[in-house]
Structure 1
Amino acid sequence: MMIELPKPIADYIAANARLDLDGMVQPFAPDAVVFDAGIGKQFEGQVELRTLFQEEVIPVKAIFTPDAVRHENGKVVVEGPAHGDFSSSPLRFTYTFTLEGDAIKALEITL
């Protein structure tokens, strides 16, 4: 199922599908913040985001495949399963994006 996503989110999702580290970091603002509830940590800035993706996403080939999107309180909420080489795969996630201009300013990842 094709869903329409704002460009920075679509770019992030496409890069994640390729496990492209540089492509995953690029759509985020330099001072973006990501909170991953699954590991209980917050990451700030592109350097920390690169570390997050390099250590938690790429090694287990975690690929998020959105199947639903909605807009809530100025945020873009995207839901779908993530498949990969990790226990309980696939897991269903909710990604709540805050956009600023043409960049992702914040992302909260919850189960």
Structure 2
Amino acid sequence: MHDTRPRDVPPDALPDVITRYLKAHHAHDTATAMGTFRTDATVTDDGRTHQGALAIEAWLNRSATEYTYTNELSGAQEVDAHHYVTTHHLEGNFPGGVVDLHYRFALRGGLIESLVIEA
């Protein structure tokens, strides 16, 4: 039987496309962040799914300005060659003020096919 449990990896072992997305998102660089997604990608955040480039771009722009917060990468896991999970510790002026979020990435063709952000 194949072991599908995620294994911890150092952040520098993450695929380049994930690293580029995380750096661009942290820097509020929407253009660079958009270059990491497939045109038909989906992002699910805060219970809402954003499908396709226009919806994801609007989500990126809104999430960059909605709240002020720090975002510290606190862990990374590889599920398989196409699925990764990063864990982020956020503190800021959003409801609750502190949260640990899991970013679940699915990759296809060297780009992000889906991203699910959840606590």
- Say how many residue pairs are matched: 108
2:56 aligned counterpart, secondary structure: helix
What TM-score comes out, normalization by structure 1 length?
0.84
Deviation at 1:84, TM superposition (A): 3.9
Deviation at 1:62, TM superposition (A): 4.8
Equivalent residue for 1:44?
51
Identity of aligned residues (%): 21
Distance 2:19 2:112 in 1: 11
Equivalent residue for 1:14?
23
Amino acid at match of 2:111: A
Structure number with greater Rg is 2
Q: 1:66 to 1:25 in 2, by over 3 A?
A: same
Give the aligned CA root-mean-square deviation in angstroms. Answer: 1.9
Q: Deviations over 1:46-69 (max 9, x none)?
A: 110011111233332455432211
- Aligned pairs for 1:1-111 (under 5 A) are 3-4=11-12, 5-36=14-45, 38=46, 40-62=47-69, 64-73=71-80, 74-111=82-119
> Which runs of no fewer than 5 residues in structure 2 stay unpaired?
1-9
Q: Deviations over 1:8-62 (max 9, x none)?
A: 11001111121112122210111101111x2x21011111001111123333245
Which has the larger share of strand? 2
Q: 1:105 to 1:63 in 2, by over 3 A?
A: farther
> Which runs of no fewer than 5 residues in structure 1 stay unpaired?
none
What TM-score comes out, normalization by structure 2 length?
0.79
